[in-house]
Chain A
Amino acid sequence: MVKLKEKKFSLDKLIGMGRGRETVAIYSLLIALIIVSSIISPDFRTSRNGVNILRQAVLLGIVSIGQTLVILTGGLDLSVGSIISLSACLTSGIMLGRAELILPVVLLVLMVGTVIGMGNGLIVTRLKVPPFIATLGMMSIVQGSLLLYTKRAIGWVPTTFLFFADGQIGPVPFPVLFYVLLFLTFFVFLKKTTFGRYIYATGGGEEIARLSGIQTRFVVFITYALSGFLAALSGLFLASRLAMGDPLGGQGYELNSIATVLVGGTSLAGGRGGLMGTLAGVLIMTVVGNILNLMGVPGFWQWIVKGLIIIGAVSVYRRID
């Protein structure tokens, strides 16, 4: 009586949450971009440049994971840029080149980021302040506090710590390996765990999720905490890459990460999308920067091109829907 066709293979299942066609679209764009870039630039198609791109993608990649989680619940995190700056400055400012401090400082920085994220979560869930305003306020508070602490680049990190951003394991750069593991962890978290499912349900309809027994406030709270944690991790990475902390180093990552997530096909309204799309978004943004650099195009053009990509991608998604 009931026809239940169980498709063995479905893009939706692989990629997630009813965004199959969007993901196909975005990966097609990525592949097209890589092919065109390879044709017009001989420098682009070297393996060294390929590795370079992956390396460059890591920072944006880490923040964007957290941003994806928050946006999936229907929220938004504008404070990540300031958390990155703060984390980078704390890292280099406290380590001051002492290798024995690496572990305690890393833990401290991750904790600070998580606590700030929890603050966002509490403001959103308990004080009922809309996410845009809550995290805008938090961005201002964190950035202001950081500038009280230091107005210029500060400190330096021990050589061992440079391994995070520059290390190499065989032919594979350590940061790329690290990112792959991090990504897989969160991918599985989102797809296979009950909590991941609750994130989608909360974003898809908070009241519905609550009436299904899900503690939606807790779900939202945790995504902000994770976003803070991942922003702090990005800050550690930034400190390792620059070997010091810059109080404005994370500036721009709040909007860039949001743009990346949206280019990846996650809906700003929440409930639809996922990390597969975000990964494509990260790579597209990085490849565009890379090829324009190689072509000697001035940096401001990158902004214009990225702007066009954001608008173009989201308008295509609207059409697919």
Chain B
Amino acid sequence: MGRKIDNIILEMKHISKSFPGVQALQNVSFQCKKGEVKALVGENGAGKSTLMKILAGVYQPDEGEIILRREKVQFDNPHDAQKSGISIIYQEGSLLPYLGVAENMFLGREPRKRLGFIDSSKLYREAQKLLNKLKIEIDLTAPVYNLSLAQQRMIEIAKALSLNAELIIMDEPSAALTTEESDRLFQIIHSLKDHGVTVIYISHRMQEIFHIADAVTVLKDGKVVSTSSVEEINEEILIRQMVGRDMEGRFPSKSEVEKRKGLSVVGLCCQEVLHDINLEVRKGEIVGLAGLVGSGRTELAKAIFGVRCLDKGAIHLNGRKIKVKSPRDAINNGIGLVTEDRKKEGLVLGLSVKKNITLPSLGRLSKMGLVSEKGEKRRVKKIIQELDIRTPSMDRQVEYLSGGNQQKVSLAKWLVIESNVIIFDEPTRGIDVGAKFEIYSLMLDLARRGKAILMISSELPEILGMSDRILVMREGKIVGELLPEDATEEKIMSLATGLIKNS
């Protein structure tokens, strides 16, 4: 009995927290054992981040208590939590890009010599020790902006360890990582466990959870639905608990339509990034573009969309050669791009839903430079209903919408201007399971209506579940084409990593 209790490092009891108009958490209890990896899952808005921010001292709970190592604690700010051995690694990362690795790890706590000078040799020695402990090989003097995202995550983990963290919260640490990089991250998480560190792991990726977590807690609408060890459950059950309903498969069913000529790219080259790309996306077809991050997928999308120069090659639309020198040209030819990074490239967060939706089509919705407000509102209202965008009003700023609804707004832009070719770059990144299904349904519906769809994705189940054809890229070239019925995750990965030369 006593032993089991000793094992529990953290208990959050009956936590409630509300924000103006929202009950974010309601009587949530949450426990972690020492040295376990505890996954925390739930749809966006389920309260995961709020709960973790309370644990990290960013928010204070309205009710409830936190018991750490059998002592009741209260964190008034993140610094308090840090002193108690709790570190949080945010999705966006929190390293300074122009500082070196070692400097970042000891930021604000640099070892000093007399007179306040930094003791560099000690700084590097200590930093190296930490990296060795986690078996990470990175040049300590390298500025952080030179590192890959995965390496940056590892540095943050090392930094947390240097703070003597016994409990590390990771908020979707694998969101932007390739499969290979994720594997490396998981190794590190395993070695954290070996050192007795507890990890709370927030993720949308089901497979990961079953791969690395010991136990999983599901939150829904600010309440705990269940806590189970991973042996007791499977993906289906977990998804059902998250969305609170049965999903008939995770992908909607497809239908056959006649596929006529749509977009074709011939011999496209772009600087050092793309080499002799040939591809075709017919009307009514969804072509999945798989590959590792850095294989040139996004660059290809941007080349087709006119963002990057084309050194050689041609783009044809409906059998006719078109000139695409800028995004404007692409849009005028009926090509739309739903970008990977909604915040930097997709939506003007401070503008309303309406104004974002009509941004590309505003010229057509106006006469002599004056916006026809009636026409604009009518179009926006229609598309909001069509896509079921959940917003209190079309004048609401998009920054207040959930990830899934923001993604629908990004898509709506191209539907209002009636694009015939739509390129999706990671269409479901960072959105929850329920919204994913909706986005998939919309994509299939668009294909049915004769749009040509090119979908870039790092999620292999998505590629397999959605595509009519699958193209795999590696090092700026298309290295293989597969039909979904022949394709497996293993086949795609071996093409993407170069294990198989061609299919």
Task: Give me the interface of A with B, judged by CB distance under 8 Å.
Answer: 1-7, 10, 12-13, 17-18, 192-195, 197-198, 200-201, 204-205, 207-215, 271-272
Tell me if B328 and A215 are in contact (CB < 8 A): yes
Q: Are B393 and A201 in contact (CB under 8 A)?
A: no
Also in contact, A5 and B392, with CB within 8 A (given A204-B348, A204-B350)? yes
Contact of A208 among B345, B362, B381, B384 (CB under 8 A): B345
In the complex, whether B359 has a CB less than 8 A from a CB of chain A is yes
Contact count band on B: 35 or more
Cβ contact within 8 Å between B389 and A193: no
Q: Give the chain A neighbours of B394 by CB distance below 8 A.
A: 4, 6
Q: Say yes or no: A192 contacts B350, CB within 8 Å.
A: no
Tell me which of A2, A17, A192, A200 contacts B384 (CB under 8 A). A2
Q: Using CB atoms, name the residue of chain A closest to B337.
A: A211
How far does the alpha carbon of A99 sit from the alpha carbon of B350 in the complex, in Å?
A: 50
- Distance, CA A79 to CA B384, complexed state (A): 44
What is the CB-to-nearest-CB distance from A72 to chain B, in angstroms, rounded to a whole number?
11
CA distance in complex: A2, B327 (Å): 32
A18 to B350, alpha carbons, bound, how many Å? Answer: 7
Smallest Cβ-Cβ distance to B397: which chain A residue: A18
Tell me whether A201 and B351 are in contact in the complex, defined as CB-CB below 8 angstroms, given that A194-B362, A194-B363, A212-B359 are known contacts: yes
Give chain B residues whose Cβ lies under 8 Å from the Cβ of A13: 395
User: How far, in angstroms, from A205 to B342 measured CA to CA in the complex?
Assistant: 11
Say whether B359 contacts A214, CB under 8 Å: yes
Query: Chain A residues near B332 (CB, 8 Å)?
Result: 213
Residues from chain B with Cβ under 8 Å of A2 in the complex:
384-385, 388-390
What sequence of 0s and 1s flags, for each residue 389-405 of chain B, a beta carbon within 8 Å of any chain A beta carbon? Answer: 11011110100000000
Contact flags B309-346 to A (C-beta < 8 A → 1, else 0)? 00000000000000000111011100001010000111
**Residue of A4, A7, A192, A193 ringed by the most chain B CB atoms within 10 A:** A4
> 19 A–B contact pairs at CB < 8 A?
A4-B385, A4-B394, A10-B395, A18-B350, A18-B352, A195-B369, A197-B355, A197-B371, A201-B348, A201-B351, A204-B350, A207-B344, A209-B359, A212-B327, A212-B359, A213-B328, A213-B359, A214-B328, A215-B328
Minimum C-beta distance from B363 to chain A (A): 6
Q: How far is the CB of A97 from chain B (nearest CB, A)?
A: 41
Tell whether A1 pairs with B388 under 8 Å between CB atoms, given A18-B397, A201-B348, A204-B349: yes
Residues of B355-378 at the interface with A, using a CB-CB cut-off of 8 Å, are 355, 359-360, 362-363, 366, 369-371, 373
Having A213-B330, A213-B331, one finds 4 other A-B pairs with CB under 8 Å, namely A4-B394, A205-B344, A211-B307, A213-B328
A5 to B390, CA, bound (A): 11
Contact of B477 with A by CB under 8 A: no
Cβ distance A168 to chain B, nearest Cβ, rounded Å: 34
User: Is B75 part of the contact surface with A, judged by Cβ < 8 Å?
Assistant: no
Residue numbers in A under 8 Å from B337 (CB-CB): 211
Contacts of B360 in A (CB 8 A): 212-213
The smallest C-beta distance from B48 to any residue of chain A, in angstroms, reads: 25
Known: A194-B362, A200-B355, A211-B337. A205 touches B348 (CB 8 A): yes
Evaluate contact between B393 and A211: CB separation under 8 angstroms. Answer: no
CB B253 to nearest CB in A, in angstroms, measures: 22
Chain B residues with CB below 8 A from A215, complex form: 326, 328
Q: Which residues of chain A are near B390, meaning CB under 8 Å? A: 2-3
In the assembled complex, the CB of A210 is this many whole angstroms from the nearest CB of chain B, namely 6
CB distance from B344 to the nearest CB of A (A): 6
B327 lies within 8 A of A213 (CB): yes
Contact B350 A17 (CB under 8 A): yes
A194 to B355, CA, bound (A): 11
A208 CB contacts on chain B under 8 angstroms = 344-348, 359
Set of chain B residues within 8 Å of A272, measured between Cβ atoms: 350
The answer to whether B351 and A4 have CB atoms under 8 Å apart is no
Q: Which residues of B contact A197 (CB under 8 A)?
A: 355, 359, 362, 371
A4 B381 Cβ-Cβ under 8 A: yes
Q: Mark B127-170, 1 if CB is under 8 A from A, else 0.
A: 00000000000000000000000000000000000000000000
A211-B307, A211-B339 known; A271+B348 contact, CB < 8 A: yes
- The distance from the CB of B117 to the nearest CB of chain A, in whole angstroms, is 34
- The minimal Cβ–Cβ distance linking B413 to chain A, given in whole angstroms, is 7
Chain A residue contacts of B440, Cβ below 8 A? none
Rounded to whole angstroms, the CA-CA distance of A3 and B381 in the bound complex is: 11
The answer, yes or no, to whether B424 is at the interface (CB within 8 Å) is no
In the assembled complex, the Cα of A208 lies from the Cα of B344 at a distance in Å of 7
Select one of B305, B345, B359, B395 contacting A12, CB under 8 A.
B395
Residues of A within 8 A of B348 (CB): 200-201, 204-205, 208-209, 271
* Structural contact, A193 and B371, CB atoms closer than 8 A: yes
Q: How far is the CA of A215 from the CA of B360 in the complex (A)?
A: 11
Given known pairs A12-B395, A208-B344, the reply for A194 and B339 (CB within 8 Å) is no
The chain B residue with its CB closest to the CB of A198 is B362
A192 and B376 alpha carbons, distance in the complex (Å): 12
Nearest CB on A from B389, distance (A): 7
Q: Which of B305, B330, B393 contacts A5 (CB 8 A)?
A: B393
Residues of B165-220 at the interface with A, using a CB-CB cut-off of 8 Å, are none
B145: min CB distance to chain A, Å: 18
User: Distance (Å) between the CB of A263 and the closest chain B CB?
Assistant: 19
Find the B residue at minimum CB distance from A13: B395
- In Å, the complex CA distance between A272 and B350 comes to 7
Residues in chain B near residue A1, CB distance under 8 A: 385, 388
Q: Give min CB distance, B393 to chain A, whole Å.
A: 5
Q: How far is the CB of B301 from chain A (nearest CB, A)?
A: 11
Determine the distance from Cα of A68 to Cα of B362 in the docked complex, in whole angstroms: 22
The 5 closest A-B pairs by CB, nearest first: A204-B348, A213-B331, A212-B359, A213-B328, A212-B360
Verify B351–A271 contact, CB threshold 8 A: yes
* B413 touches which of A5, A205, A212 (Cβ 8 Å): A212
Q: Is the CB of A4 within 8 A of B393?
A: yes
Give A210 to B339 CA distance when docked, in angstroms: 12
Instruction: Report the separation of the CA atoms of residues A44 and B371 in the bound assembly, to the nearest whole angstrom.
Output: 42
CB distance from B309 to the nearest CB of A (A): 15
Closest Cβ of chain A to B213, distance in Å, is 36
CA distance A5 to B393 in the complex (A): 5
Which of B359, B362, B373, B392 interacts with A3 by CB under 8 Å? B392
Q: Given A6-B393, A193-B371, A194-B362, are A211 and B327 neighbors across the interface (CB < 8 Å)?
A: yes
Task: Give every chain B residue within 8 A of A192 (Cβ-Cβ).
Answer: 370-371, 373
Q: Within the complex, what minimum Cβ distance (angstroms) separates B355 from chain A?
A: 6
- Which residues on A sit within 8 Å (CB–CB) of B413? 212
**Interface pair B369/A201, CB less than 8 Å apart:** no
Most buried by B among A10, A210, A215: A210
Closest to A210 in B: B327
